[in-house]
Amino acid sequence: MRTTRLRVLLRGPGLALFLAAGVLVGGTAGYVAIEGWGPWESLYMTVTTITTVGYREVHPLSRAGEVFTVALILGGVGTALYAFTLVASIIVEGGWQRFIEQRRINRMLEDLTNHFIVCGYGRIGAVIAEQFARQHIPFVVVDTSVDRVNTALAQGFAAVVADASSDDALIRVGIERARGLVAAVGTDAENVYTILTARVLRPDLFVVGRAESDDSVRKLLRAGATRVVSPYQIGATQMALTAVRPAVVKFVELATSSQNLELSMEQVLIGRTSALAGQSIVDANLRQRFGVVVVGIQRAEGQMEFNPVPDTIMSAGDHLVVLGPPDRLKHLEDAAQDV
């Protein structure tokens, strides 16, 4: 992480400032060591030397001091001119604005926590980003296309131009602090490499992969994906269900839509020390207290129980799949947290 930040720093204006500071520090230290002058006199002599203003010497120089001054002129003046030219070219070419924008993005990335990493901003990735934005879920987009990243930035999303299968790229976007990763890049092969990289860096990370075929589903799971989704299969299934059971499909759409203000379907994690852990659904009085309906329980081991009976026990680590008003669901989430 520190190496990546150093590489970003030593570019553009950062490089110019680093070189200029190096000359000033080196010149000042040289005069202090050789001539025994104070820090201010040494700095003053260094500045007048590398800027070639031609002022007189602060004190008479020894032979060693004269040799050092010659070396400072030959090396320092050239370095100062290079730094000035670099800064001037950046300002003239509009690079300063890009530098400021990049600094803003870097600070945004450093502040991200418990976020999702969306790898790929194509048709699928763009929809995923929009859904996260509607639900106010923090995320960052990673794509190799400059145009796609610029489109994401124009939408107000955090985005970087990088290869999602690169260790440095995933570290830069905070994979160690991330809540999950969505691999939705161009091809199944790229998704496999991205998932492998993410799994090596974060073995416990929740990873969703996009697949184009049944064979790819198996490969993505072997690569380490927690869940694999085939947009084509889901789309075809949705179309078939819409044709046969349009009312059911409409209900599910309303229940899962982030734009619905009256009814939502969410999953709620039962904390280890939550007051709900160890209670049955009826004893916890979820229907009366929170106005929600428990439609399923995903056990900590992974199995799903649909339409659980009232005396079903809720355990720590279980996810309740509940249906109810968004504000009531928030109250249930608070009650399910650790105390």
* Residue pLDDT, tens place only, 50-91: 877 767 777 888 889 889 888 888 877 777 777 777 767 666
pLDDT at site 1: 47
The pLDDT-based confidence of 190 (bands split at 50, 70, 90) is very high
| 74 vs 53: CA distance, rounded Å | 15
CA gap 113, 20 in Å, rounded: 35
Give residue 259's pLDDT.
62
Note whether 229 and 205 are within 8 A (CB): no
Q: Is the pLDDT of residue 132 over 50?
A: yes
State yes or no: pLDDT of 274 exceeds 60. Answer: yes
CA–CA dist 242, 257 (Å, integer):
16
- The helix-helix angle for 231-244 and 246-256 (nearest 10°) equals 130
Q: Write down how long the chain is.
A: 339
What pLDDT sits at residue 6? 46
Only one residue has tokens 């998704």, namely 191
Rounded Cα–Cα distance for residues 337 and 226 (Å):
24
Structure tokens at 176: 């160690």
Where b means 16+ CB within 10 Å and e means fewer, 147-171 reads ebbebbeeeebbbbebbbbeeebbe
C-beta separation of 329 from 302 below 8 A: no
Pairwise pLDDT comparison (257 vs 318), residue with the higher score:
318
What mean pLDDT do residues 290-317 have? 92
Res 75: pLDDT: 79
Give the highest mean pLDDT range of 1-5, 11-15, 35-39.
35-39
245 forms bridges with which residues in the sheet? none
Instruction: Report the SS3 class of residue 181.
Output: strand
Binning pLDDT at 50, 70 and 90, where does residue 120 land? very high
Instruction: For residue 96, name the pLDDT band (cuts at 50, 70, 90).
Output: low
Q: CB of 159 within 8 A of CB of 144?
A: no
The pLDDT of residue 2 is: 47
Lowest-confidence pick of 8-17, 197-206, 216-225? 8-17
Instruction: Write the CB contacts of 309 (distance below 8 Å, at least 6 apart in sequence).
Output: 281
110: left (phi over 0), alpha (psi -120 to 50) or beta: alpha
pLDDT score for 65 = 84
What are the chain's domains? 2-95 (1.10.287.70), 112-233 (3.40.50.720), 261-336 (3.30.70.1450)
* Bridge partner list, 161: 143
Chain-centre distance for alpha carbon 103: 14
For residues 187 and 280, what is the distance between their CA atoms, to the nearest angstrom?
45
d(CA 161, CA 175): 16
Closest CA to 21 of 79, 86, 91, 95: 79
The more confident residue out of 194 and 24 is: 194
CA dist 233 and 214 (Å) reads: 9
pTM, rounded to two decimals:
0.63
Query: 140 and 173 in contact (C-beta within 8 Å)?
Result: yes
Per-residue pLDDT, averaged over 165-194, amounts to 94
The mean pLDDT of the chain is: 85
Helix (H) or strand (E) holding 322: strand 319-324
Q: Is the pLDDT of residue 197 over 90?
A: yes
Per-residue pLDDT averaged across 236-256, rounded?
Answer: 84
pLDDT reported for residue 247: 87
